[in-house]
Protein backbone atom coordinates (compact mmCIF):
# COMPACT_ATOMS: atom_id res chain seq x y z
CA UNK A 1 0.00 0.00 0.00
CA UNK A 2 1.41 3.35 -0.98
CA UNK A 3 1.15 5.93 1.75
CA UNK A 4 1.96 9.58 1.81
CA UNK A 5 4.62 10.62 4.27
CA UNK A 6 6.12 13.96 5.19
CA UNK A 7 9.64 14.42 4.01
CA UNK A 8 12.25 14.51 6.71
CA UNK A 9 15.91 15.00 6.34
CA UNK A 10 18.14 14.34 9.32
CA UNK A 11 21.89 14.69 9.32
CA UNK A 12 24.27 13.48 12.01
CA UNK A 13 27.82 14.58 12.25
CA UNK A 14 29.94 13.75 15.30
CA UNK A 15 33.23 15.44 15.85
CA UNK A 16 35.40 13.80 18.44
CA UNK A 17 36.89 16.12 21.04
CA UNK A 18 40.51 16.09 22.02
CA UNK A 19 42.57 17.79 24.71
CA UNK A 20 46.00 19.20 24.23
CA UNK A 21 48.40 20.07 27.03
CA UNK A 22 51.14 22.52 26.30
CA UNK A 23 53.99 23.75 28.43
CA UNK A 24 57.47 22.78 29.65
CA UNK A 25 58.16 20.31 32.43
CA UNK A 26 59.70 21.49 35.70
CA UNK A 27 62.81 19.37 35.19
CA UNK A 28 63.34 20.67 31.67
CA UNK A 29 62.79 24.23 32.84
CA UNK A 30 65.34 23.67 35.63
CA UNK A 31 67.87 22.25 33.19
CA UNK A 32 67.39 25.24 30.89
CA UNK A 33 67.92 27.59 33.79
CA UNK A 34 70.70 25.73 35.65
CA UNK A 35 72.66 24.07 32.84
CA UNK A 36 73.28 20.36 32.31
CA UNK A 37 74.81 19.81 35.81
CA UNK A 38 72.08 21.58 37.66
CA UNK A 39 74.58 24.18 38.97
CA UNK A 40 73.95 27.83 38.22
CA UNK A 41 76.61 29.41 36.01
CA UNK A 42 77.36 33.10 35.55
CA UNK A 43 77.80 34.20 31.95
CA UNK A 44 81.20 35.66 31.03
CA UNK A 45 79.70 37.62 28.17
CA UNK A 46 76.24 38.11 26.60
CA UNK A 47 75.16 34.82 25.11
CA UNK A 48 78.49 33.07 25.87
CA UNK A 49 80.14 31.08 28.68
CA UNK A 50 83.42 29.21 29.13
CA UNK A 51 83.86 25.47 29.47
CA UNK A 52 86.67 23.64 31.22
CA UNK A 53 89.03 23.95 28.25
CA UNK A 54 88.59 27.68 28.06
CA UNK A 55 86.73 27.57 24.72
CA UNK A 56 83.62 29.62 24.36
CA UNK A 57 80.19 28.06 23.47
CA UNK A 58 76.69 29.50 22.85
CA UNK A 59 74.53 29.69 25.93
CA UNK A 60 71.01 28.05 25.61
CA UNK A 61 68.82 30.80 26.99
CA UNK A 62 65.60 29.79 28.77
CA UNK A 63 62.18 30.52 27.11
CA UNK A 64 60.07 32.98 29.10
CA UNK A 65 56.84 31.46 30.52
CA UNK A 66 54.77 34.13 28.71
CA UNK A 67 56.24 33.07 25.35
CA UNK A 68 55.48 29.39 26.12
CA UNK A 69 51.87 30.24 26.94
CA UNK A 70 51.54 32.27 23.73
CA UNK A 71 52.90 29.37 21.65
CA UNK A 72 50.29 27.08 23.21
CA UNK A 73 47.51 29.49 22.22
CA UNK A 74 48.83 29.59 18.66
CA UNK A 75 48.80 25.79 18.46
CA UNK A 76 45.22 25.67 19.73
CA UNK A 77 44.16 28.32 17.20
CA UNK A 78 45.70 26.34 14.36
CA UNK A 79 43.89 23.19 15.46
CA UNK A 80 40.58 25.10 15.59
CA UNK A 81 41.17 26.53 12.11
CA UNK A 82 41.88 23.02 10.79
CA UNK A 83 38.67 21.74 12.37
CA UNK A 84 36.68 24.56 10.70
CA UNK A 85 38.18 23.68 7.32
CA UNK A 86 37.15 20.04 7.80
CA UNK A 87 33.61 21.13 8.66
CA UNK A 88 33.33 23.38 5.60
CA UNK A 89 34.51 20.58 3.32
CA UNK A 90 32.30 17.97 4.96
CA UNK A 91 28.99 19.83 5.26
CA UNK A 92 28.06 19.57 1.53
CA UNK A 93 28.57 15.80 1.73
CA UNK A 94 26.21 15.32 4.69
CA UNK A 95 23.25 14.08 2.62
CA UNK A 96 25.47 11.47 0.96
CA UNK A 97 26.92 10.51 4.31
CA UNK A 98 23.41 10.19 5.69
CA UNK A 99 22.45 7.91 2.82
CA UNK A 100 25.55 5.80 3.35
CA UNK A 101 24.59 5.50 7.01
CA UNK A 102 21.21 4.04 6.06
CA UNK A 103 19.02 7.06 5.40
CA UNK A 104 16.55 7.06 2.52
CA UNK A 105 15.23 10.38 1.33
CA UNK A 106 12.70 12.04 -0.96
CA UNK A 107 12.80 15.78 -1.51
CA UNK A 108 10.57 18.11 -3.52
CA UNK A 109 12.09 21.20 -5.15
CA UNK A 110 10.90 23.85 -7.64
CA UNK A 111 12.06 23.26 -11.23
CA UNK A 112 10.54 26.21 -13.12
CA UNK A 113 7.24 26.86 -14.83
CA UNK A 114 5.58 26.36 -18.20
CA UNK A 115 4.82 29.13 -20.70
CA UNK A 116 1.29 29.45 -19.32
CA UNK A 117 2.56 29.83 -15.74
CA UNK A 118 2.09 26.31 -14.37
CA UNK A 119 4.68 25.60 -11.69
CA UNK A 120 6.73 22.43 -12.08
CA UNK A 121 8.32 20.59 -9.16
CA UNK A 122 11.08 17.99 -9.28
CA UNK A 123 11.38 15.10 -6.81
CA UNK A 124 14.73 13.68 -5.79
CA UNK A 125 14.73 10.06 -4.56
CA UNK A 126 17.82 8.65 -2.82
CA UNK A 127 18.43 5.19 -1.40
CA UNK A 128 20.99 4.02 1.14
CA UNK A 129 23.45 2.84 -1.53
CA UNK A 130 23.90 6.20 -3.22
CA UNK A 131 21.53 5.58 -6.15
CA UNK A 132 19.54 8.72 -6.93
CA UNK A 133 16.62 9.39 -9.30
CA UNK A 134 15.07 12.75 -10.18
CA UNK A 135 11.53 12.91 -11.55
CA UNK A 136 9.66 16.07 -12.54
CA UNK A 137 5.97 16.86 -12.82
CA UNK A 138 6.17 18.03 -16.43
CA UNK A 139 5.58 14.91 -18.52
CA UNK A 140 6.13 12.70 -15.44
CA UNK A 141 9.68 12.64 -16.84
CA UNK A 142 12.66 10.79 -15.39
CA UNK A 143 15.23 13.61 -15.54
CA UNK A 144 18.26 11.77 -14.18
CA UNK A 145 19.28 8.43 -12.72
CA UNK A 146 22.63 8.33 -10.92
CA UNK A 147 24.07 4.86 -10.36
CA UNK A 148 27.39 3.83 -8.71
CA UNK A 149 29.76 2.04 -11.10
CA UNK A 150 32.24 -0.67 -10.10
CA UNK A 151 34.63 1.98 -8.71
CA UNK A 152 31.89 3.54 -6.59
CA UNK A 153 31.65 6.64 -8.79
CA UNK A 154 28.08 7.81 -9.32
CA UNK A 155 27.17 7.95 -13.05
CA UNK A 156 24.06 9.58 -14.53
CA UNK A 157 22.86 6.93 -16.98
CA UNK A 158 19.75 8.76 -18.29
CA UNK A 159 19.93 11.21 -21.20
CA UNK A 160 18.20 14.55 -20.69
CA UNK A 161 18.73 18.19 -19.76
CA UNK A 162 19.84 20.17 -16.71
CA UNK A 163 16.79 22.47 -16.60
CA UNK A 164 13.17 22.70 -17.73
CA UNK A 165 13.49 24.98 -20.77
CA UNK A 166 14.84 22.40 -23.29
CA UNK A 167 12.06 19.99 -22.35
CA UNK A 168 9.49 22.69 -23.09
CA UNK A 169 11.06 23.49 -26.47
CA UNK A 170 10.77 19.90 -27.66
CA UNK A 171 12.99 16.82 -27.52
CA UNK A 172 13.00 13.13 -28.53
CA UNK A 173 10.99 12.16 -25.42
CA UNK A 174 13.94 11.88 -23.01
CA UNK A 175 12.70 10.08 -19.89
CA UNK A 176 9.08 10.70 -20.86
CA UNK A 177 5.92 8.98 -19.75
CA UNK A 178 4.16 7.90 -22.96
CA UNK A 179 0.37 7.81 -23.34
CA UNK A 180 -2.43 7.42 -23.90
CA UNK A 181 -1.08 4.88 -26.36
CA UNK A 182 2.60 4.06 -26.68
CA UNK A 183 4.02 3.20 -30.10
CA UNK A 184 2.04 3.24 -33.36
CA UNK A 185 -1.58 2.91 -34.44
CA UNK A 186 -2.05 2.41 -38.18
CA UNK A 187 -3.98 5.10 -39.98
CA UNK A 188 -4.47 6.94 -36.68
CA UNK A 189 -7.80 5.16 -36.20
CA UNK A 190 -9.36 2.11 -34.53
CA UNK A 191 -12.81 0.64 -33.99
CA UNK A 192 -14.17 -0.28 -30.56
CA UNK A 193 -17.64 -1.73 -29.95
CA UNK A 194 -18.60 -0.84 -33.51
CA UNK A 195 -17.57 2.81 -33.23
CA UNK A 196 -14.59 4.17 -35.21
CA UNK A 197 -12.35 6.67 -33.44
CA UNK A 198 -9.98 8.95 -35.33
CA UNK A 199 -6.82 9.98 -33.54
CA UNK A 200 -4.24 12.71 -34.03
CA UNK A 201 -1.95 11.97 -36.96
CA UNK A 202 1.65 12.76 -36.00
CA UNK A 203 3.74 10.13 -37.79
CA UNK A 204 2.87 10.45 -41.44
CA UNK A 205 -0.66 9.11 -41.70
CA UNK A 206 -0.29 7.19 -38.45
CA UNK A 207 -0.53 7.93 -34.73
CA UNK A 208 2.43 7.49 -32.38
CA UNK A 209 3.03 7.90 -28.64
CA UNK A 210 -0.25 9.62 -27.75
CA UNK A 211 -0.47 12.39 -30.32
CA UNK A 212 0.16 16.12 -30.06
CA UNK A 213 0.13 18.80 -27.37
CA UNK A 214 -2.04 16.85 -24.95
CA UNK A 215 -0.04 13.64 -24.96
CA UNK A 216 1.24 12.61 -21.54
CA UNK A 217 4.81 13.91 -21.85
CA UNK A 218 3.54 17.46 -22.61
CA UNK A 219 1.26 18.02 -19.61
CA UNK A 220 1.96 18.88 -15.98
CA UNK A 221 1.19 16.04 -13.59
CA UNK A 222 0.42 16.49 -9.90
CA UNK A 223 3.21 15.02 -7.81
CA UNK A 224 3.27 13.90 -4.20
CA UNK A 225 6.15 12.28 -2.25
CA UNK A 226 5.46 8.82 -0.85
CA UNK A 227 7.49 6.54 1.38
CA UNK A 228 7.47 3.02 2.81
CA UNK A 229 9.67 1.06 5.19
CA UNK A 230 12.36 0.34 2.60
CA UNK A 231 11.50 2.58 -0.33
CA UNK A 232 10.86 6.18 -1.33
CA UNK A 233 8.93 7.46 -4.29
CA UNK A 234 6.76 10.03 -6.00
CA UNK A 235 3.13 9.55 -7.01
CA UNK A 236 2.04 11.50 -10.08
CA UNK A 237 -1.58 11.85 -11.20
CA UNK A 238 -3.28 13.21 -14.31
CA UNK A 239 -6.75 13.07 -15.86
CA UNK A 240 -6.92 12.91 -19.65
CA UNK A 241 -10.34 14.21 -20.67
CA UNK A 242 -12.79 12.46 -22.95
CA UNK A 243 -11.84 13.13 -26.58
CA UNK A 244 -8.29 14.35 -26.01
CA UNK A 245 -6.16 13.42 -29.03
CA UNK A 246 -9.24 11.51 -30.27
CA UNK A 247 -9.36 8.89 -27.49
CA UNK A 248 -12.74 8.05 -25.93
CA UNK A 249 -13.43 8.31 -22.21
CA UNK A 250 -11.95 10.26 -19.34
CA UNK A 251 -8.80 8.42 -18.29
CA UNK A 252 -7.68 8.84 -14.66
CA UNK A 253 -3.98 7.92 -14.49
CA UNK A 254 -1.51 7.44 -11.65
CA UNK A 255 2.19 6.77 -12.15
CA UNK A 256 4.43 6.01 -9.20
CA UNK A 257 8.21 5.96 -9.32
CA UNK A 258 9.60 3.83 -6.47
CA UNK A 259 13.28 3.54 -5.51
CA UNK A 260 14.26 0.79 -3.07
CA UNK A 261 17.41 -0.40 -1.32
CA UNK A 262 17.83 -3.28 -3.75
CA UNK A 263 18.93 -0.60 -6.26
CA UNK A 264 15.78 -0.99 -8.33
CA UNK A 265 13.74 1.87 -9.75
CA UNK A 266 10.21 0.66 -10.34
CA UNK A 267 7.58 2.46 -12.39
CA UNK A 268 3.98 1.52 -11.58
CA UNK A 269 1.14 2.49 -13.89
CA UNK A 270 -2.56 2.59 -12.99
CA UNK A 271 -5.58 3.86 -14.94
CA UNK A 272 -9.37 3.80 -14.85
CA UNK A 273 -11.93 5.08 -17.37
CA UNK A 274 -15.58 6.10 -17.53
CA UNK A 275 -16.03 4.83 -21.13
CA UNK A 276 -14.60 1.91 -23.10
CA UNK A 277 -11.19 3.00 -24.39
CA UNK A 278 -7.67 1.75 -25.14
CA UNK A 279 -4.55 2.34 -23.10
CA UNK A 280 -0.87 1.43 -23.46
CA UNK A 281 1.61 3.22 -21.18
CA UNK A 282 5.41 3.12 -21.06
CA UNK A 283 8.53 5.13 -20.24
CA UNK A 284 10.80 6.42 -22.99
CA UNK A 285 14.09 6.87 -21.10
CA UNK A 286 17.29 6.76 -23.13
CA UNK A 287 20.05 4.99 -21.23
CA UNK A 288 23.82 5.06 -21.57
CA UNK A 289 25.42 3.01 -18.78
CA UNK A 290 28.79 4.71 -19.38
CA UNK A 291 27.14 8.05 -18.56
CA UNK A 292 24.89 10.36 -20.54
CA UNK A 293 26.90 11.99 -23.33
CA UNK A 294 29.91 9.69 -22.92
CA UNK A 295 29.90 8.25 -26.43
CA UNK A 296 27.60 5.81 -28.22
CA UNK A 297 26.12 2.61 -26.82
CA UNK A 298 27.31 0.24 -29.55
CA UNK A 299 29.66 -1.49 -27.09
CA UNK A 300 26.87 -2.22 -24.58
CA UNK A 301 26.22 -5.94 -24.22
CA UNK A 302 22.50 -6.81 -24.43
CA UNK A 303 20.42 -9.88 -23.65
CA UNK A 304 16.67 -9.88 -24.43
CA UNK A 305 14.39 -12.61 -23.11
CA UNK A 306 12.58 -13.08 -26.40
CA UNK A 307 12.72 -15.69 -29.15
CA UNK A 308 10.19 -13.81 -31.30
CA UNK A 309 9.65 -10.31 -32.65
CA UNK A 310 7.05 -8.39 -34.65
CA UNK A 311 8.13 -7.66 -38.24
CA UNK A 312 6.99 -4.25 -39.45
CA UNK A 313 6.21 -2.73 -42.80
CA UNK A 314 5.70 0.81 -44.01
CA UNK A 315 5.71 3.38 -41.22
CA UNK A 316 6.97 0.61 -38.88
CA UNK A 317 3.42 -0.68 -38.48
CA UNK A 318 3.47 -4.38 -37.51
CA UNK A 319 2.36 -6.71 -40.28
CA UNK A 320 0.57 -8.89 -37.73
CA UNK A 321 3.02 -11.74 -38.14
CA UNK A 322 5.26 -13.05 -35.37
CA UNK A 323 8.73 -14.19 -36.45
CA UNK A 324 11.65 -15.90 -34.79
CA UNK A 325 14.75 -13.83 -34.02
CA UNK A 326 17.07 -16.78 -34.66
CA UNK A 327 19.50 -16.10 -37.49
CA UNK A 328 18.64 -12.38 -37.66
CA UNK A 329 20.38 -9.25 -36.34
CA UNK A 330 17.52 -9.10 -33.79
CA UNK A 331 18.72 -12.18 -31.92
CA UNK A 332 19.76 -11.17 -28.40
CA UNK A 333 18.84 -14.46 -26.74
CA UNK A 334 22.56 -14.67 -25.87
CA UNK A 335 24.63 -11.63 -24.82
CA UNK A 336 25.70 -9.56 -27.81
CA UNK A 337 26.84 -5.98 -28.30
CA UNK A 338 24.39 -3.53 -29.83
CA UNK A 339 26.90 -2.70 -32.54
CA UNK A 340 27.61 -6.28 -33.58
CA UNK A 341 25.05 -6.35 -36.43
CA UNK A 342 23.41 -2.95 -36.32
CA UNK A 343 24.66 -1.98 -39.79
CA UNK A 344 22.52 -4.73 -41.30
CA UNK A 345 19.34 -2.86 -40.25
CA UNK A 346 19.13 -0.52 -43.21
CA UNK A 347 15.38 0.13 -43.07
CA UNK A 348 15.47 1.57 -39.56
CA UNK A 349 19.17 2.63 -39.44
CA UNK A 350 19.38 0.80 -36.14
CA UNK A 351 17.14 -1.05 -33.72
CA UNK A 352 13.50 0.03 -33.51
CA UNK A 353 11.76 -3.31 -33.05
CA UNK A 354 9.17 -4.82 -30.73
CA UNK A 355 10.08 -8.12 -29.08
CA UNK A 356 7.59 -10.71 -27.84
CA UNK A 357 8.78 -11.48 -24.33
CA UNK A 358 9.02 -15.04 -23.07
CA UNK A 359 7.62 -14.24 -19.63
CA UNK A 360 4.02 -14.52 -18.51
CA UNK A 361 2.11 -11.25 -19.01
CA UNK A 362 0.91 -9.90 -15.69
CA UNK A 363 3.84 -11.27 -13.70
CA UNK A 364 7.15 -9.46 -13.29
CA UNK A 365 9.38 -11.41 -15.66
CA UNK A 366 12.85 -10.73 -17.00
CA UNK A 367 12.72 -8.63 -20.16
CA UNK A 368 16.35 -7.66 -20.76
CA UNK A 369 19.78 -7.30 -19.25
CA UNK A 370 22.40 -4.76 -20.36
CA UNK A 371 26.09 -4.62 -19.37
CA UNK A 372 28.55 -1.79 -20.02
CA UNK A 373 32.15 -3.06 -19.73
CA UNK A 374 34.14 0.12 -19.00
CA UNK A 375 32.32 1.04 -15.78
CA UNK A 376 30.85 -2.38 -15.06
CA UNK A 377 27.23 -1.24 -14.61
CA UNK A 378 24.56 -3.88 -15.20
CA UNK A 379 20.88 -2.96 -15.75
CA UNK A 380 18.23 -5.65 -15.45
CA UNK A 381 14.71 -4.90 -16.72
CA UNK A 382 11.65 -6.76 -15.44
CA UNK A 383 8.07 -6.11 -16.52
CA UNK A 384 4.49 -7.32 -16.42
CA UNK A 385 4.08 -6.30 -20.09
CA UNK A 386 4.06 -8.76 -23.03
CA UNK A 387 6.52 -6.80 -25.18
CA UNK A 388 9.51 -4.48 -25.21
CA UNK A 389 10.61 -2.04 -27.92
CA UNK A 390 14.39 -1.78 -28.35
CA UNK A 391 15.30 1.61 -29.82
CA UNK A 392 18.87 2.86 -30.32
CA UNK A 393 18.49 6.61 -30.92
CA UNK A 394 18.83 6.19 -34.66
CA UNK A 395 19.79 9.44 -36.36
CA UNK A 396 20.05 11.49 -33.17
CA UNK A 397 22.22 14.49 -33.96
CA UNK A 398 23.73 17.46 -32.14
CA UNK A 399 21.42 17.62 -29.12
CA UNK A 400 23.09 19.53 -26.31
CA UNK A 401 22.31 17.72 -23.10
CA UNK A 402 23.48 17.73 -19.51
CA UNK A 403 26.69 19.54 -18.61
CA UNK A 404 26.94 20.80 -22.19
CA UNK A 405 27.59 17.34 -23.61
CA UNK A 406 26.31 16.74 -27.13
CA UNK A 407 24.23 13.65 -27.89
CA UNK A 408 24.75 12.02 -31.27
CA UNK A 409 23.76 8.97 -33.26
CA UNK A 410 23.22 5.86 -31.10
CA UNK A 411 24.17 7.74 -27.91
CA UNK A 412 21.40 6.01 -25.99
CA UNK A 413 19.10 2.99 -26.03
CA UNK A 414 15.48 2.61 -24.93
CA UNK A 415 13.79 -0.50 -23.58
CA UNK A 416 10.13 0.51 -23.76
CA UNK A 417 8.03 -2.15 -22.04
CA UNK A 418 4.51 -2.18 -23.49
CA UNK A 419 1.68 -3.95 -25.27
CA UNK A 420 2.25 -4.45 -28.97
CA UNK A 421 2.01 -1.62 -31.53
CA UNK A 422 -1.30 -1.36 -33.39
CA UNK A 423 -2.97 -3.85 -31.05
CA UNK A 424 -6.40 -2.15 -31.47
CA UNK A 425 -6.28 -3.13 -35.15
CA UNK A 426 -4.79 -6.61 -34.61
CA UNK A 427 -7.39 -8.75 -32.78
CA UNK A 428 -4.90 -11.62 -32.24
CA UNK A 429 -2.51 -9.33 -30.31
CA UNK A 430 -3.00 -9.01 -26.53
CA UNK A 431 -5.89 -6.60 -25.91
CA UNK A 432 -5.36 -2.99 -24.80
CA UNK A 433 -9.07 -2.33 -24.17
CA UNK A 434 -10.03 -0.85 -20.80
CA UNK A 435 -13.65 -0.65 -19.69
CA UNK A 436 -15.45 1.12 -16.84
CA UNK A 437 -15.07 -0.84 -13.61
CA UNK A 438 -11.72 -2.28 -14.71
CA UNK A 439 -8.31 -1.08 -13.59
CA UNK A 440 -5.26 -0.95 -15.82
CA UNK A 441 -2.15 -1.99 -13.89
CA UNK A 442 1.38 -2.42 -15.15
CA UNK A 443 4.86 -2.35 -13.61
CA UNK A 444 8.43 -2.20 -14.89
CA UNK A 445 11.62 -2.17 -12.84
CA UNK A 446 15.20 -1.21 -13.69
CA UNK A 447 17.61 -2.86 -11.26
CA UNK A 448 21.29 -1.94 -11.14
CA UNK A 449 24.42 -3.79 -10.07
CA UNK A 450 28.07 -4.03 -11.13
CA UNK A 451 30.50 -6.68 -12.25
By annotation, the residues acting in catalysis are 284, 416
- How many Å is the Cα radius of gyration of the chain? 33
Residues facing residue 391 across a β-bridge: 352, 414
Strands 222-227 and 231-240: antiparallel
Residues 6+ apart with CB under 8 A from 224: 4, 234, 235, 236, 237
Helices and strands (DSSP H and E) totals, the chain = 4, 31
CA atoms of 375 and 160, how far apart (whole Å): 20
**Would the CA dihedral through 171, 174, 180, 182 be positive or negative?**
positive
CA atoms of 301 and 204, how far apart (whole Å): 33
Residues 92, 96, 97, 101: what is their CA dihedral angle, to the nearest 10 degrees?
Answer: 160
Strands 308-310 and 132-136: unpaired
CA atoms of 227 and 233, how far apart (whole Å): 6
CA atoms of 379 and 264, how far apart (whole Å): 9
Amino acid sequence: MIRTCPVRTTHHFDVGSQRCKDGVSTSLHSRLMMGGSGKRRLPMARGMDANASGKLRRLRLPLPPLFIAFAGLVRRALRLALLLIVLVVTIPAWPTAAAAAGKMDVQEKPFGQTADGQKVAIFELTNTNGLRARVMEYGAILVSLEVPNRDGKRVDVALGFDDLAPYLRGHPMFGSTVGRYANRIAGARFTLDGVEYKLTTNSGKNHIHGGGNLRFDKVVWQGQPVQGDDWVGVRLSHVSKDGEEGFPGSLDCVITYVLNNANALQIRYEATTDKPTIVNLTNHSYFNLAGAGNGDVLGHEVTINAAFYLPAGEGLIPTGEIHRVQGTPLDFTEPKTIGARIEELTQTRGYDHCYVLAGSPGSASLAARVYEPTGGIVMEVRTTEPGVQLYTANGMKNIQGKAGKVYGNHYGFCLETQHFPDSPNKPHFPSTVLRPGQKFESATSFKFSTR
